[in-house]
Amino acid sequence: MKREKCGNEYPSQYYFETPTVCKECFKNLSDEEKQFYLAQPAPYFVDELALRTGFGKRFAAALIDFLIVVIIIVLVYNATGFFESATIFGQQVQENATDVAAIEELTNSFMADNMSNFYFSYILILVFFSLEILIGATVGKLILGIHIADSNRRKASTTKLLTRYLIKNSASFISVIWLLTNISLINTLSTIVSIALIIGFLFVLSQKRQAFHDMIADTAVFNRNDIITEEANQNFN
């Protein structure tokens, strides 16, 4: 949608003060010009923001992805004896509840014995969500028929999808670094980033319907059929 005064494009009527003049240009108009443009009839337009997928559908897709990842992790943990090891570890901690040194030794031993499981969990998450770089959607998004696109409904570039992926999964990357270094401060940082990302996802509830990682990468999520393909874009132009 082009601005009549300056010719720049905006994705939706949200950015316009009148049907054809954006908020920025409107500020610089004389009172007479303002009255003229306010009286103009509204042209037909597609509200890009309204086409963006809202919180409910995106949350449902995230829930599907979460369940898939959890099921895989549980199956692998069960096969490697992790749950049995965790039960024994919990019993040993209870038996040595007043011995700080013993608990620390038990914890280090438990972590060392199960390090491969922890690595597997984070690597699985990173690989699973890398689908968003390759095809612009996770399994959950594919099931619900939604895809990541540029904020203007065009196909998102690999650079934007990669940027979005790195921000969205930054807590997992930090957690891998923590496993490699065993520095508690890095684990704390991972927790803080995780909380920030959860809050950032709630930004989808705003009018722009973009999570924090979408805002940074200039992406948004749409129903697959609402994304403008190259062929449709040529016909539109």
Poorest-confidence range of 17-31, 84-98, 104-118, 171-185?
Answer: 17-31
Closest listed residue to residue 149, CA positions, set 105, 158, 14: 158
Average pLDDT over residues 198-212: 95
Largest Cα–Cα separation, the chain:
83
| Strand residues in the chain grouped as ranges (E) | 146-150, 219-223
pLDDT at 232 over 80: no
For the cut 90, the answer to whether the pLDDT of residue 31 exceeds it is: no
| Threshold 0.95, pTM exceeds | no
Per-residue pLDDT at 236 exceeds 50 = no
Residues 93-111, mean pLDDT to the nearest whole number: 84
The residues spanned by each domain of the chain are: 13-45, 52-236
230: pLDDT strictly greater than 70: no
pLDDT of 235 strictly over 50: no
Choose among 45, 12, 52, 14: nearest CA to 205.
52
Residue-level pLDDT at 20: 66
What pairs with residue 222 in β-bridges? 52, 147
Query: Residue 25: how many CA atoms within 13 Å on its side-chain side?
Result: 21
Task: Compute the distance between CA of residue 105 and CA of residue 86 in angstroms, rounded to an integer.
Answer: 15
- Pick the range with the lowest mean pLDDT from 110-124, 136-150, 152-166, 202-216: 110-124
pLDDT for position 27: 82
* Residue position matching structure tokens 């570890």: 89
